[in-house]
Amino acid sequence: MKSSGFRVSGFALWAAALAAALPFAALDAARTADLGRDGVGVTVESEPDAVDPARDFYVTVTVKSPSGKKASLPDLRDRFRGFQVAEDVPEEPVAEADGSTTLVTRWRLVPEPMAPRYRLAPFVVTVAAGDDVQTFYTAPVVFDNPPAREVVTGDMEIAPKRDLPPLSWKLVGICLGILLAAAGVLCAAWLVVRKIRTMVRIHRMSPIERAMYELENLLRKGLPGRGFFKDFYVELTMVVRRYIERRHSVRAPNLTTEEFLAAAKENPAFTPEAVAELKSFLESADMVKFAGVDATPAMADSATDRARTYLRTDSAQPGPSSAAVKKGGAA
């Protein structure tokens, strides 16, 4: 997480994000896709080779955590697209001799006959190493399906085609190719300009404006309504932490809850009441993120209201003095 004082090229950031988001995970000849990262192995195996709506489709998800780390996955039931989940069979974790742990879950899926695409949508992998908890999103996995077969019955009289000369067809193809290429270039240029303008506008926002912008984007995802409470709480607390970093120069996104609260108590920018409110907010979120507490939509709404109230209350206070900023940054 970079502070607001570190400047990078807006185009470079956009290009990197676009390159990371576009590719799909490829299934190799053994029908296996590797989605792992940073030493954590996540593989997806499928059977048979292609999706057949007349047959069940089987997917095996294997997670291998290296020694000292514990990786966990969300419920993937809502991540399959084009299928109905018939059965899931999680196996008991297996501890290997090298200290790693292997967790296997097998899924039996029923393909939907009219689905335009069969895939496993991106999902969050949570990796815990002691008090350090990291998350990353996987790439989507697309499963092949055979093209529809053309069936012709009965005797049919086909009218003769009036083909253009070969040269004419070649010219038509060249013209269409040029038009499509020009349209693609114009569309890409428009998207780049739009993205750069958006990034510049966001960069010029004040800390409270940017926090409210991020909060509204989070709410538009509708994560609680789809049952992704843990993902919602992770992103909600990061909105508050990034705001604190930009306004008070406290590296909140990089600190644990205990480390941040200790730093906040020593920072004159935070009143005892603000520290108490942040403590209650962050610790209640940690119960959902790390302790496995089942959240509800009402709890998510309450957490959102608390975050919004804190942001507005803190932004209404006078800005920190130079001495306070220096001390907060050192913390």
With beta carbons less than 8 A apart as the criterion, state whether 106 and 79 touch. no
The pLDDT of residue 161 is: 55
Residue 21 predicted with pLDDT over 80? no
Q: Quickly list DSSP for 257-323.
A: HHHHHHHHHT-TTS-HHHHHHHHHHHHHHHHHHTS-PPP-HHHHHHHHHHHHHHHHHHHTSPPPPHH
CATH architecture of the domain with residue range 21-143: Sandwich (2.60)
pLDDT at 137 (0 to 100): 83
Residue 192 has pLDDT above 50, yes or no: yes
Average pLDDT, the chain: 80
Per-residue model confidence as pLDDT tens digits over 106-163? 989 899 988 888 888 898 888 888 888 888 888 888 887 665 444 344 444 445 555 5
- Phi and psi at 72, nearest 5°, equal -140, 155
Structure tokens at 19: 């390159």
Lowest mean pLDDT among 38-42, 196-200, 313-317: 196-200
Out of 15-24, 192-201, 205-214, 217-226, least confident range: 15-24
Model pLDDT, residue 14: 44
What count of Cα atoms within 13 Å lies in the side-chain half-sphere of residue 77?
10
pLDDT tier, 196 (very low <50, low <70, confident <90, very high otherwise): confident
Tell me how many degrees the CA angle 130-133-136 measures, rounded to the nearest 5: 140
Q: What is the pTM of this model?
A: 0.39
| Residue 308 predicted with pLDDT over 90 | yes
Interatomic CA distance for residues 42 and 59, integer angstroms: 13
Q: What is the pLDDT of residues 66-95, one digit of tens each?
A: 988 888 888 888 889 989 988 888 888 888
Out of 9-13, 194-198, 238-242, least confident range: 9-13
CA atoms within 13 A on the CB side of 18: 11
Q: For residue 11, what pLDDT band results from cuts at 50, 70 and 90?
A: very low
State the pLDDT at residue 203.
76
Say what the pLDDT of residue 16 is.
44
> What is the spatial distance between Cα 141 and Cα 122, in angstroms, rounded to a whole number?
8
Q: Rounded to whole angstroms, how far apart are CA atoms 269 and 331?
A: 12
> How confident is the model at residue 50, as a pLDDT?
85
pLDDT at 165: 58
Q: In the structure, what pLDDT confidence band is assigned to residue 331 with cuts at 50, 70 and 90? A: very low
For residue 206, CA distances in Å to 8, 213, 243, 266, 274 come to 18, 11, 10, 25, 20
Please determine, for residue 234, whether its predicted confidence score (pLDDT) is greater than 90: yes
Residue 75: the pLDDT is 87
Report the C-alpha gap between 270 and 261 in whole angstroms: 10
pLDDT at position 55 over 60: yes
pLDDT-based confidence at residue 180 (cuts at 50, 70, 90): very high
